[in-house]
Amino acid sequence: MKTNMDINEIKTYLPHRYPFLLVDKIVDIEELKITGIKNVTVNEPFFEGHFPEHPVMPGVLIIEALAQTCGVLALKREENRGKLAYFISINNAKFRKPVFPGDTLTLEIAVTRHKPKLVQAHGVAKVGESVVCEADLLFSILDRKR
């Protein structure tokens, strides 16, 4: 099984595009686990307003990066190819440390429950060895509508 993906392959699974695609690469994929990378750069559009004199990555975007990483894992499954992963619930979210321009976020997802139309996972975002955010995520897998 292939264990990494570049941005072009990620885009074949996720519908997100700049400036809302928040996963730069996948460095490890297993059946129920995936690890992604988000390089946080000072030219991210959200830093213009959050906060101009003290840029900090918004926590909701860290959660979104975790969700997109989980989406890649869910949509890579053969039975979910061509479908969408709708983010439907966040539980137990904790923000432990701020994320700054120049940081590299490591996005670790472990699926805790998988059914044909439902994926539940625990996500942990790290900078280096420090946990900056964690949350339990829930997705509904649906057919794409035209």
In the residue annotation, 16 being an active-site residue is answered as no
Peptide bond preceding 19 in cis form (omega within 30 of 0): yes
- Catalytic-role residue among 50, 54, 114, 122: 50
Q: Smallest Cα–Cα separation from 108: which of 14, 21, 28, 20?
A: 28
Cβ–Cβ under 8 Å, residues 70 and 85: yes
User: Are the CB atoms for 93 and 133 separated by under 8 Å?
Assistant: yes
Q: Give me the active site residues, please.
A: 50
